[in-house]
Amino acid sequence: MSRFVSLMYHNLEQDPANRYSLPVEAFEQQVAWLKAEGYVIEGFPELEARLARGVFPERYVVMTFDDGHRSNLRAAEILSRVGVRATFFLTRDFCRHNPAFLRDGEIRELASLCSVGGHGVTHAPLSRLDAAQARAELAESKAWLEDVTGRPVTTMSAPGGFINRAVLRQARDLGYTLVGNSVEWWNEPYIVNAERLVNRVAIWQGMPPGLFARIVRHDARYLRARRLRAGALELPRRALPLRLYHGLSQALYRLRNVAPGKQVSW
Ligand SMILES: [Zn+2]
């Protein structure tokens, strides 16, 4: 069985203040490189179909976008031009109330080009909420997106990567069959099939092509450095007040020098 990496993107625009925002050209170059290297690029529904069949290409990447920024439509157009798919996870209240995020018509267009999934109502950290609040976030974001698109929504990603077993169980009970996290590691198909949880590696602006290639090729040494950082954050993720947690996360990024720039979008 071949292991594979799932990539996590956010915005496609020139915004030096937002580490998660990539210029369109940088994204186009990454897609072109993946195609030239013979990678099959797919989203969550296609991954689910492969998990059911147990057949994976040697070179395989699962592409995702979080939050629902308006520039996501541009990304979907770029991807569909070259005949590939990705999954876009949308946060309801960003799309409803913030003009920088996708409107209903744009969401329908996006859903016709690629697939869409849930990313909470308010982008609250699900594993920090009580059971009723977490359930409401999961259920209401699903209902909203199904209403807007007229399609069933069965996939989601955890806002800020805040997920635990209890939330995962709730998500499954509500009809989510595949959930993306923010664990920066590769995926083994048999584990994903059993856990229904997909590890995803964040892509930042200014990432050198060589580094992007190491991620896609699931280079153990590089991913281990990122995993150590994530491991160091696991206890604070569960226990620290969120403001302190984000500060610590920033400090660790700087310390390990694995992510340039400033983080704003969580
Ligand atoms: Zn998010």
Instruction: CATH number of the domain at 138, please.
Output: 3.20.20.370
The reported pLDDT for the residue numbered 243 is 73
Domain that holds residue 157: 5-219
- The verdict on residue 57 lying in a domain is yes
CA 89 to ligand 1 center in whole angstroms: 8
Tell me how far apart the alpha carbons of residues 210 and 204 are, in angstroms, rounded to a whole number: 13
The reported pLDDT for the residue numbered 254 is 52
- The verdict on residue 145 lying in a domain is yes
CA 123 to ligand 1 center in whole angstroms: 6
CA 68 to ligand 1 center in whole angstroms: 9
CA 98 to ligand 1 center in whole angstroms: 14
Contact indicator for 233, 249 with CB cutoff of 8 Å: yes
Banded pLDDT at 159 (limits 50, 70, 90): very high
- Picking from 256, 121, 76, 78, the residue whose alpha carbon sits closest to that of residue 184 is 256
CA 53 to ligand 1 center in whole angstroms: 30
Tell me how far apart the alpha carbons of residues 188 and 118 are, in angstroms, rounded to a whole number: 23
- The verdict on residue 117 lying in a domain is yes
- The verdict on residue 138 lying in a domain is yes
Number of domains in the chain: 1
- The verdict on residue 195 lying in a domain is yes
Output the pTM of the full model: 0.88
Tell me how far apart the alpha carbons of residues 71 and 192 are, in angstroms, rounded to a whole number: 29
- The verdict on residue 196 lying in a domain is yes
* Rounded average pLDDT over 136-157: 98
CA 79 to ligand 1 center in whole angstroms: 21
